[in-house]
Chain A
Amino acid sequence: MSAVAVHLAHLTRRFGELTALDQLDLDVHPGELVALLGPSGCGKTTALRLLAGFDRPDGGRVLVGGVDVTNMPASRRDMGMVFQAYSLFPNMDAHKNVQFGLRMRKMGAAERKTRAEEVLALVGLADHAGHYPHQLSGGQQQRVALARALAIEPSVLLLDEPLSALDARVRNQLRAEIRRVQQELGTTTLFVTHDQAEALSIADRVGVMSNGRLEQLDTPEEVYNRPATPFVAEFVGTMNRVAGRVLSGGRLEVLGSSLNSIGRDGHDAGSLVEVLVRPEAIEVTVASPGHAVVNDRTFLGSLTRMRVTLDDGAVLLVDAASSRNLPDPGARVDVRVIGEDALIGDDAGAGRPIEELELELDPEPVGPDPSEPPSDRLRDGLL
């Protein structure tokens, strides 16, 4: 079956006072994997639930393959969904779980069995077909959930933070697996996550959301290197806010370097602004007297992150290859920007001191640990 396009048009959803989705427009091309990335409460899950049919919008339309499905119940939308955790039916083994959707489609028993075995093999669990969810690890459960979603040959595959409850190693493994299977089958896929590393590594295009709106929808490289808004710049990766000055001809002067300004026109030449600069776009060299001092150094593997205080009091984060000869804490250094492009920060953040941002190398898993069997004990204890 050929892949279909998904089109969300002016989608609005309000919960009481809160506007979860504010006229969201989103196009997913046939066969494409789009990751919706954003902080919690940005509306990404709401968008996914509206697409799945679990919820109805207050305004706007949902089109799949050109057909308006806005008011179609979830059970008829033909979408495969993988949830964060605990979505397998505890009373059925892996094989029965995978067959569930096929049974609903009145497929014959023999055909159903063959199909279930196929998809279980596709996710590498052919020999776990007889296991119940509580006998499977968190990663295996999510594989079965993926197989179950794919068994019905869905027009669209929906992934709602499917990796967030897994530990780091399994997460990376399964992420690659999801991507492989998705590309093999060519299913149009929407992947919701709050983890930027996950979004950047798995998606054809990344949609960054904030306050119910899509801030930017672009390839991972573009989102990282040419963020459309200050929000995107600061949410994806780590950013320094550095004092700078607007030059003529769309250039900026930052720490003595002249950079190309991307986006956000409307600043007069000569005005003082805050410029967003990535830690890896800053270089420090030992110098005497120098105009900054290295506070501390954190070894992160291939990179080392330094905290540097300028003589005017501003604090910067600087990433450098660990293989280089790096200045020790306390050393006097010169600081310069080695990147070419930079974005002017929004006024809301002006003058705000730099925050120690998360290192994001190995974030802790969020949510309950699915490697624990679900609450049999709790259930028995309560009754």
Chain B
Amino acid sequence: MWRVTILVLAAIYFLGPIASSIRFSLVQSNGKDGFGNYTQVLHDATLAHALATSLELAGLTTAILLVLMLPTVVWVRLRLPRVALLVETVSVLPIVIPPIVMGAGLASLQLHAGSQIDSLLFSSPLTALTPFYVILALPFAYRSLDVGVRAIDLRTLVDAARSLGAGWVTMITRVILPNVRTAVLTAASLAIALVLAEVVISELLLYDTFPVELANQGQENAGVAVALSVLSLVITWLLLFAITFVGNRGSRGRVGRLL
């Protein structure tokens, strides 16, 4: 009985706001019900451009993060177990240091840097923001990859692969990566979620990313803003669903090929 009560209360608590949001987003600016807010979102060129920028940022950040962190985690576990704690501590720093500090530092660099650095780094949001998103996502990536690598018998697998003639690159791509797939997907989804939600630095540096645009739209048209939130909620759900699906199939040992 208690269980049902708590379940119902929790459902109301979580689903209530979502249902209200959906209801609200279906009210058009002329007061009638319809999908006007959604079609407006889909036809908004600035928004589409901002979304494309953010997705590019997310892809690039994830790629750099994984190429950087997976070998690092493997190396630390295998060769430098004593610095594991240090690496772990360092990787938490981006959480401890507020993004605004990094943003301010970056803004100051942007202001005082010579034109060469300026054009090299700040001419595109990709080159300007990716390095900082990599840093911001570091704690999540390190943690999930570390958990994944801990769950396999890393040393034995590495030794086995090496004695069979595999070099380090082959070993990471063919043996380790397929077996920490779930961890890699978790790290990737966390990084993507982070990039799709980060406003402080991009706003400060005046780059027009999706979350920045989301905030701007919200100040102009409440209906469109809520429609956008609902859309991003749906996208996140789909993403998580896809990752769970791929992860589950993987753990049954069937699809190392998917990656």
- A residues touching B (Cβ–Cβ < 8 Å)? 52-54, 73-81, 83-92, 100-101, 104-105, 132-135, 145, 148-149, 152, 158, 374-376, 378-380, 382-383
Tell me if B183 and A383 are in contact (CB < 8 A): yes
Q: Pick the residue among A77, A133, A383 that contacts B147 (CB under 8 A).
A: A383
With both chains docked as a complex, state the minimum distance between the C-beta of A333 and any C-beta of chain B, in angstroms. 52
Tell me if A90 and B162 are in contact (CB < 8 A): no
Contact with A along B151-194 (1 / 0, CB 8 A): 11100110111111111001000010011001100100000000
Q: Pick the residue among B159, B166, B167, B256 that contacts A91 (CB under 8 A).
A: B256
Q: How many angstroms from the CA of A73 to the CA of B164 in the assembled complex?
A: 11
Contact with A along B54-76 (1 / 0, CB 8 A): 00000000000000000000000
Tell me if B148 and A379 are in contact (CB < 8 A): yes
How many positions in chain B have a CB within 8 Å of any CB in the partner chain? 30
Q: How many angstroms from the CA of A135 to the CA of B252 in the assembled complex?
A: 10
Tell me if A83 and B159 are in contact (CB < 8 A): yes
- B residues touching A (Cβ–Cβ < 8 Å)? 144, 147-148, 151-153, 156-157, 159-167, 170, 175, 178-179, 182-183, 186, 247, 250-251, 253-254, 256
Q: Cβ of B251: which chain A residues have Cβ within 8 Å of it?
A: 376, 379-380
Q: Cβ of A104: which chain B residues have Cβ within 8 Å of it?
A: 164-166, 170
Tell me if A383 and B159 are in contact (CB < 8 A): no
Complex A-B, nearest 7 residue pairs according to Cβ-Cβ distance, in ascending order: A104-B165, A101-B164, A91-B178, A91-B256, A379-B151, A132-B253, A86-B153
Q: Pick the residue among A73, A74, A134, A149 that contacts B253 (CB under 8 A).
A: A134
Nearest residue (CB) in B for A80 is B163
Q: Cβ of A52: which chain B residues have Cβ within 8 Å of it?
A: 159, 163
Q: Cβ of B178: which chain A residues have Cβ within 8 Å of it?
A: 89, 91
Q: Cβ of A100: which chain B residues have Cβ within 8 Å of it?
A: 161, 164, 166
Q: Cβ of A84: which chain B residues have Cβ within 8 Å of it?
A: 156
With both chains docked as a complex, state the minimum distance between the C-beta of A117 and any C-beta of chain B, in angstroms. 18
Tell me if A89 and B144 are in contact (CB < 8 A): no
Nearest residue (CB) in A for B164 is A101
With both chains docked as a complex, state the minimum distance between the C-beta of A379 and any C-beta of chain B, in angstroms. 4
Tell me if A105 and B165 are in contact (CB < 8 A): yes
Q: How many angstroms from the CA of A104 to the CA of B151 in the assembled complex?
A: 26
Q: How many angstroms from the CA of A81 to the CA of B148 in the assembled complex?
A: 25
With both chains docked as a complex, state the minimum distance between the C-beta of B140 and any C-beta of chain A, in angstroms. 12
A81, A90, A148: most-surrounded residue (chain B CB, <10 A)? A90
Q: Cβ of B256: which chain A residues have Cβ within 8 Å of it?
A: 91-92
With both chains docked as a complex, state the minimum distance between the C-beta of A224 and any C-beta of chain B, in angstroms. 32
Q: Cβ of A158: which chain B residues have Cβ within 8 Å of it?
A: 163
Q: Cβ of B157: which chain A residues have Cβ within 8 Å of it?
A: 86-87, 89
With both chains docked as a complex, state the minimum distance between the C-beta of A261 and any C-beta of chain B, in angstroms. 45
Q: How many angstroms from the CA of A78 to the CA of B163 in the assembled complex?
A: 7
With both chains docked as a complex, state the minimum distance between the C-beta of B157 and any C-beta of chain A, in angstroms. 7
With A378-B151, A379-B182, A383-B144 given, is the CB distance from A91 to B253 under 8 Å?
yes
With both chains docked as a complex, state the minimum distance between the C-beta of A147 and any C-beta of chain B, in angstroms. 12
With both chains docked as a complex, state the minimum distance between the C-beta of A142 and any C-beta of chain B, in angstroms. 13
Q: How many angstroms from the CA of A224 to the CA of B190 in the assembled complex?
A: 61
With A91-B179, A91-B253, A380-B251 given, is the CB distance from A79 to B153 under 8 Å?
no
